[in-house]
């Protein structure tokens, strides 16, 4: 089972008198990067505890956690500064009279209340240990929803990656029959080259030795074997029970790419090189997808 690094989890809950709105999002990342910039001020003292809670659960990705808290208890403090309201009101009234702009009391009051620093939000009460533990359970629910989303996307990634690797394996099988007549084709090309150059008298034994040496340098049997082994290992990693395996799969794809490139450079055969081009295309698509894997 694969897990994607991308996902989202949301939770709305009531903890005592506190209404919680939690949203956690995850995108691709080489390591775990947790952004808590959109955390409610009352939770700031619990910043390190929250990071310690998230790290072993999310493992990798760029994570953005947003938590807003609204106290449903009626506030005894209105947050209005009476003296400031009076000062603004008197100043606006005096200015209106001097400019000859007549405004009623309610109109002036509406204007005053829109001015800065007239209204202030009540200060957030600190979160105690009991509230924090209750809030943490809700965060855990949001993380669970994120992980479920990651697993759903990971299943789709696994299907796609398997198809890419299977296409590469099929390419290896297509190469095998093309190798059979490759020696004869190379020999025919060399003989034609000698003939075109006007070289008719040649040592047959020396020619065969040079031909064998040339063909040994073109031999791709080891590359094919290693390529097949890497593909089998890729499937094995997909099937193991580890949660985070994106980096391992990326390393295997690098090795697969090395063998494909060597096969193409040694092939000296148009048919084999065409197959190699198709294998490279599948490999690049697989590399793009692995970047999304946890």
Divide the 294 residues of the chain into consecutive groups of 10 and give the mean pLDDT of each group: 91 86 91 89 87 91 90 58 73 73 70 62 66 91 94 93 93 84 70 64 65 70 88 92 89 93 82 90 93 90
Write the CA distances from 176 to 163, 189, 232, 266, 282, integer angstroms.
20, 21, 18, 14, 19
For residue 50, CA distances in Å to 32, 116, 292 come to 14, 34, 25
pLDDT reported for residue 223: 86
Which pTM was predicted? 0.70
Predicted local confidence at residue 159, as pLDDT: 93
Q: Which residue bears the tokens 């692995």?
A: 290
Residue 244's pLDDT is: 87
Question: Residue 35's pLDDT is what?
Answer: 92
pLDDT at res. 220:
80
Closest CA relative to residue 9, chosen from 44, 49, 46, 61:
61
Which tokens is 98 given?
């001097």
DSSP symbol at 97 = H
Q: What is d(CA 60, CA 150) in angstroms, rounded to the nearest whole number?
A: 12
DSSP state of 60: S
Q: How many CB atoms lie within 10 A of CB 150?
A: 26
Read off the pLDDT of residues 155-170 as tens digits, 9 standing for 90 and up.
999 999 999 999 999 9
Q: Please state, as a whole number, how many other Cβ atoms lie within 10 Å of the Cβ of residue 198.
A: 6
| Per-residue model confidence as pLDDT tens digits over 89-130 | 777 777 777 766 666 777 767 776 666 555 554 445 667 888
């Amino acid at each position: 089972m694969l897990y994607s690094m991308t996902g989202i989890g949301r939770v709305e809950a009531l903890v005592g008198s506190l209404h919680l709105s939690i949203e956690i999002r995850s995108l691709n990342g080489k390591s775990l990067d947790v952004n808590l910039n959109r955390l409610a001020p009352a939770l700031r003292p619990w910043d390190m505890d929250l990071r310690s809670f998230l790290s072993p659960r999310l493992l990798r990705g760029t994570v953005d956690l947003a938590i807003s808290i609204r106290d449903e208890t009626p506030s005894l403090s209105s947050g209005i500064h009476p003296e400031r309201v009076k000062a603004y009101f008197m100043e606006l009234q005096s200015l209106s009279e001097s400019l000859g702009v007549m405004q009623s009391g309610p109109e002036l009051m509406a204007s005053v209340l829109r001015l800065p620093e007239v209204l202030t939000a009540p200060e957030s009460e600190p979160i105690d240990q009991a509230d924090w533990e209750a809030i943490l359970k809700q965060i855990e629910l949001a993380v669970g929803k994120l992980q479920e989303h990651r697993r759903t996307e990971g299943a789709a990634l696994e299907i796609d990656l398997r198809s890419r690797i299977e296409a590469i394996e099929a390419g290896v099988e297509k190469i095998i029959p093309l190798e059979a007549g490759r020696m004869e084709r190379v020999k025919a090309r060399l003989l034609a080259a000698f003939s075109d150059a006007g070289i008719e008298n040649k040592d047959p034994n020396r020619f065969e030795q040079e031909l064998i040496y040339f063909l040994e340098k073109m031999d791709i049997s080891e590359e094919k074997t290693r390529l097949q082994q890497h593909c089998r290992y890729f499937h094995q990693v997909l099937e193991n029970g580890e949660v985070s395996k994106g980096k391992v799969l990326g390393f295997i794809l690098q090795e697969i790419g090395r063998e494909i490139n060597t096969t193409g450079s040694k092939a000296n055969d148009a048919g084999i090189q065409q197959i190699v081009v198709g294998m490279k295309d599948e490999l690049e698509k697989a590399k793009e997808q692995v970047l999304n894997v946890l």
